[in-house]
Structures are given as structure tokens and as C-alpha cells.
Chain A
Amino acid sequence: MSLRKILTIAWKDVRGTFTDRNLILIMLAAPLAISTIIGLTFGGVSQGAAPLKDIPIAVVNLDEGTGEMNYGNIVANILAPLPEGEASDDPLAQTGNFNANTLAVSGIDTQPFTCPQSVEVTSGGAMQTSNTPLDELLEGVRVSSPEEARAGVESGLYTVAVIIPATFSSDVGYTPTDQNLTPTTIQVYADPAKPISSSIVRSIVEQVGVRLATGNVTLSSLLTPIMPPGNPNPLLILSVAGSQAFAQGISCTFEGVGSPISIDQQTVEGDDFVFNPLVVIGSAQAIFFAIFTANGSASSTIEERKNGTLQRIASTPTPMLAILTGKLLATFLNVLFQLLFLMIALTAVNTLIYGRLEFIWGSNIPLVTVILVAISLGTTGLGAITAAAARNPEQATTIGSVVAIFSAVLGGAFGFQLGGGIQYLSVVYWGSNAFSKLASGNNDILLNALVLTLFGAVTFGIGFMIFARRLRD
């Protein structure tokens, strides 16, 4: 088999693809535009309302407090406010009685402290101002144990479980008597099938944590000089904090810098998970469109047969094996170049949206390359088998579209993902999941790469055989 002839066929097809303006529009511009829109919508620049409501979350507050304060209650009350008139019997709980938008410290001051009007959601590194009140966005339930909360997430009852550690208050508390800040972790246990909801909850928790820590530091540094040493009075602190003058003067300091609180987000499988819509949905969209490309490119064999050019090549001293290998190599290269372009472009979009240059696909370039190749193989195989199943170019387009949309829906390319294991049937899922892991610094993508490669090899082989048989007849 002549390698030169294979490369000639492949090069002819690749050149044909990337000099066709219409194809470029479909292959590159469309997924880039859709991903950018999704990035803007979910990533923080849009001023529109948050796209989700009533996200079911379970909150477990294990915080034992510091005597006067229970910061865990503050977080828990924000995420899962107690019903009106149902104040906790625990006196510690009174100290953090936030409702969704207002810090009301009853009986201390008539001037309630108004939290910033909106919930700022960090997602993909940028701030999003959502006008949706938090109590509309979240449907929080207090749960007594982490096990119960996790079980609820695994059963689908909750999207996310937020677990506040027992040492939370002592770790983040900054008082005249304890001026040591200790890094602490709020665990967010998420359903991987609902990445957007999980990410929003994670961002809220993160922001609340950041505000709590920085606000606490600011208050303490402001009030320490006027407080008698060894006699901190939280009621006094809060009455000062609740004044209008304080709110106007100090609220600007409630910014997310230097937080000692980190968020440990895990999926049901226990994987680390960071939601950047340009990675999760952008990669899924890229793979979705790559399936179209693969199908279109593989279908060009049928198109060439219809136009007589395939027969003309077959009339030359070129074995059919070489012809088909060249055609499918072109399909693979088209997909590879498309994905590569989209990854770079989405990185550029991320830079434009969030204002900082960052390679969003993770730092492990060799593994990113491996998964890129594996996805290209998987989609090429899928394209080959769907094109081979068709009897004419029109049929190939129809079958290819159905397969692509089916894979995209299963794989989460439209912002939601079907659970129950059915998502494992989709190359979009395996590819997007691998990119999300790599972006989160999790290099455990061996299974993803294996599944994609194996899937590609099997479908490629079957498609190849069907094509070869058709062309012989």
C-alpha cells in the first residue's frame, strides 16, 4: 500500500475542507459562536437573570462554633434559611441569622445591614451578577449528616450537598482573642450530570465564604482598637456593622481576596470538578460539531462515488484499501484540526471574557493531546460508520445529524446531561468529561482515552468494511 498515495488523497480532502467557506462556517464559526454565547450566559458577563431556579441542595452544618459566633450557621442560613418563626434553639445559631438578601440582626439595631443586592457567582474565574433572589435560585434543606446528604445527591434528590466542617468558625474566626486564620474547606458534593447547577451553588458558597472571611478580617481590624482586650462583644460589632454609614463606607472591602476558605468540589464519583462553561459546554459543543465534520468528511466517499471521482481513483493502480485509508485519514485530520482550532479559540474567548490569559484546558499538554487524538479517533469512527450505513449523501447527512444530536444530548453539549449511565454511550460525554477533568487538574483520563480509542477503532473498522464491500459491488 502506497503511503504517498494515502497522503495525497488525505491532503486533497483536508485542503478541500479548509478552503470551503461554508464548511468552515459550520465547522469552526458555529461551535465557537455557540460556546461563546454559552460562556457569556453562564460565565458571568451577561446581565440577564440566572437561568436556573430552585436548585435542590442539602446543607450539613457541622460547625461547632467558637462560643460567641457560629459562622457555619451564617453560611447554612444563606443556603437553606430556616422557615420564618422557626429559629433554632441553639443560641449559637442566632448569631448568624441571615436571610437570603438581608442580614437582619434582630433586637440589636433597627437599621438592617443590607448585603450586596445580588449574589455574585464566580464561574470560570469571573463575576456574574444575578438578579435572581437567592431563595428563588436555591431550594435548600438542612440535613443532619454528611452521609445522608451524599446519599441524597447520589439518589438525585439533591443536586449538591454542602458540608460545612466542625472547625469552620474557629478556623475563619478573627477576633481580638484569636487572630489566627486557619485554612478550611467547605465540601461541595455535586451531581456531575448537572454541572451548571453545581457550579452555581459552588460559586455562591465560595462567595459567601470569601465575604465572611474578608468581612470578618475587616471588622476585626476596624474594631480591635476600640474593643477592650480580652472582652470581645459580638453584639457591639454587629450593631456597628449594621449601621447605614458602615454599610456605605465598608462594603467595598467585602471583596474576594485572600480568603482562607477553599471549596472542595467533588462529583458523585469523587472526582474533582471545576466548572468553566467554555471547557465543559465548549468542549461538548466542539465534539458535537466534530461529529458533523466527521460524518460530512466520511460521507465525501459517497459523494465522490456519486460524482464518479471515486471510481476514477479506483481505476488507477491504487488499492481500495489505500483509497479508503486516505479518505478516513482526511476525516481524522479534519476533526483534529477543527478541535485544535476550537480549543485555541475558546481559550481566546475565555481571555476576552475574563480578562486574563489562561490555557483553560489544564496544564498537562501531553494528556490534552492524547485526549484530543482519542476524541478525533472516536468521532472519525462514528462518522465512518454512519456514512457507511447510508446509501447516498442525503441519507448520510440525515443519519449523521441524528447521531450527532443524540450524542450531544447524551453528552451534555446543551447544558444538561442525562444521567443513569446512558451518557456513557456518547463520545461527547467521554471527551467533554476528560477535558473537564484535565481543566480541573485531574489527570485520570485513562478510561476516557481508552473508551474513545476503542470506540473509534471498532466503528472505524466496521465502517471501513462496509465501505469496502459497497465499493467492490
Chain B
Amino acid sequence: MAAMVEVRGLKKTFTRADGTPVHAVKGVTFDINKGEIFSLLGPNGAGKSTTIGMISGLVNPSEGEARIGGFSITTQAMAAKALIGVVPQDIALYPQLSPRQNLDFFGRMYGLGGAELNKGIDEVIEFIDLKDRQNDRIDTFSGGMKRRVNIGVGLLHKPQLVYMDEPTVGVDPQSRRRILDTVFRMRDEYKMTVLYTTHLMEESQELSDRVAIIDHGTIIAMGTQVELMAQAGEEDRLVLMVTGNAPESLITTLGAVTGVTKAVREPSEEGAEETRISVYAKSGRTALPDVLRAANDAQAIVASVAVKEPDLETLFLNLTGRALRD
């Protein structure tokens, strides 16, 4: 399949006020195929937005190259940008203008005009389901409605590639569902390629044809869901929340339970009242009674327990020793 996006060794180094360098992105390389939904998954501060900033021409790369539809984002920026629609993480609209006026303005920035622009606006208004409110000021809208307009602006010129930077942050479940459905429609109805960044493992799993997991500015794993699951291993994970600061002896005890391959204390926030322990086993459900009994014998108070099948979070934990939420 032809690549819509080719990223080669992109790096970005910022300089702090005190002169010390910050390596936000340390050389990422990946391709995104035409018509696929590609997720960039990573915790906050992993380098997702900086990467998107570089491949949309907003941030100058310190090193490396990105090509969009064959056009270099550094030397053929205008041609590359014409292929891109950007949906930023925050609402980037003019609040005093209506959805229609916002769409009209940004449409003109993409070089649209006349009947073509009006037709495009009508289609987008229909697509984001805001026909009744199309002439109301944005600042009178709910958060979910603003998000829909925010997405609509990115789709107006029918881009071949859409960047969506954590579009569901701070959104209620109903609006979130609507956004995720919109992403599928973009791919299925409009044959668009979607680059989607998120720190939510569930979203990434639900949406993506392929996922790249990024941490500390480096891609640590990449592939289809199946490929990544294989990397995550076949073990279930029991997540125990133990009251108080669990002693190291408890971790050792749990690791020695029959059927358990290892037990790991996960990092917790400073001052946390519970300790989070991940216990890996071939069959989580089978091992669960023995694990709870061992914890009880060690006089640990287990506040809650969850059995998790292998997922991207497990993979992230395996690769970094940290939970994705960190």
C-alpha cells in the first residue's frame, strides 16, 4: 500500500530559558498508509503533539524529514499543507464567529471560494450535525458542539490526510462516542487517512489500523493490533490495589504464588493511599484465588482487584515499567 506519510528520523530539541536543551522528539521514523487510521499512543509529554506539529509544518524539525503525499514538509510546505486537515487538541476557532463564518474563513485560507466553498460548508455543517445552529456564535455552544465544529474545519477542504490531536480530551462520553464514529466515517466515507494521537489505550485500540507507541520522544513499539498484542505476551494481568504502602515482602510473596510468573509494584503518585501491584499469570482467573489468599496471609488489605487480558497498556508497562496513565 502506498504511503501517505513518510517520517524519517524527525528530531526536535527545544532550549529552556536557562539554556538547557530539551529533546522533545528524539528521531522518530514511521509511515502511514493511504486510507488507514494510525494512532500515536503515549502518555502526556511523550512527544505526540510535537511530532504532529513537525509533520504539519507548524514546528521546524531540528533534524529529519517528513513527506506528505510525496511533498516535503520543509521544502514543499505549501503543497504538503494543501493535503492536510488539522484538528487541534484545543478548540481553535473564533468564538465571536458562527460555525459557518469560521468555516468560511478557514476555507478561504485553503484557497476555496465561491460556490465550491459554500457547497463544502453545507456538507460539513451536515456532517457535524449543526445545521440548526450554523449561524449562532461559537461562544454560545457547549463543549461537545465546539469540538464538532473544530473537527469540521479540518475536513472542509476534503483533505487526504487528517491530523487529530487528542480530540476527545475533556469531552463527555456521548460527544466522545460521536467523535470516534466521525473518525470511522472519515476513513470509510471520505477515504481519508487519519493520524490520531491519544493517551487513551481504549481509544487507540478501538480506532486504529496501526498504532505507534511513543514515550520520551521515541517510538518504542509499532504495528497492527495483532502484532502489538503478540509483543505484549499472552499473560493475563491481575491489578491489585492494596491499602497503604505495601512491603516488598508482599511483592515477593505474590510472585511466588503457583501459576504466577511475576509480580511488579507499579509507580504510584506521591502520597497515594494505595499501592498498585500487577501480577502476571497464564490464566488470571485461575490464579486469582491463590493470589488473594497469599495477600490475606501477608496481612495486606486488598481494596480492589481487576483481571486484564493482554492489551496495549500491558505492552507499555512491559516496555517502560510504567503505566500508560503515568
Contacts and interface: CB of A to CB of B under 8 A. Distances in A.
A311 B88 contact: yes
Given A5-B108, A308-B88, 20 more contacts: A5-B109, A8-B108, A8-B109, A12-B94, A16-B96, A309-B92, A309-B93, A311-B92, A312-B92, A312-B106, A313-B109, A314-B57, A315-B57, A315-B86, A316-B81, A316-B110, A317-B78, A317-B82, A317-B110, A472-B60
Contact of A12 (B77, B86, B105, B110): B105
A472 B113 CA distance: 28
Interface size class of B (residues with CB under 8 A): 20 to 34
A299 to B, nearest CB: 16
A86 interface: no
B160 to A, nearest CB: 13
Q: Which of A19, A314, A472, A473 counts the most B-chain CB atoms under 10 A from its CB?
A: A314
Nearest to A306: B90
Given A5-B109, A308-B88, A473-B60, A315 B94 contact: no
Interface string A290-334: 000000000000000001110111111111000000000000000
Contacts of A473: 60
B86 A317 contact: no
A4 B113 CA distance: 10
A89 interface: no
A395 to B, nearest CB: 15
15 contacts: A8-B105, A9-B109, A16-B94, A19-B96, A308-B88, A311-B58, A312-B86, A312-B88, A312-B106, A313-B106, A314-B57, A316-B110, A317-B111, A319-B78, A472-B60
Interface of A: 2, 4-5, 8-9, 12, 16, 19-20, 307-309, 311-319, 472-473
A22 B111 CA distance: 33
Contacts of B82: 317
B290 to A, nearest CB: 52
B153 interface: yes
B108 A307 contact: no
Given A315-B84, A473-B60, A4 B108 contact: yes
Contacts of B81: 315-317
B256 interface: no
A168 B92 CA distance: 75
Interface string B21-55: 00000000000000000000000000000000000
A19 B95 CA distance: 13
Contacts of B78: 317, 319
B56 interface: yes
Nearest to A314: B58
A4 B96 CA distance: 22
B306 interface: no
A455 to B, nearest CB: 32
Nearest to B92: A308
B91 interface: yes
Contacts of A308: 88, 90-92
A300 to B, nearest CB: 11
Interface string B95-122: 0110000000110111101000000000
Contacts of A311: 58, 88, 92
B79 interface: yes
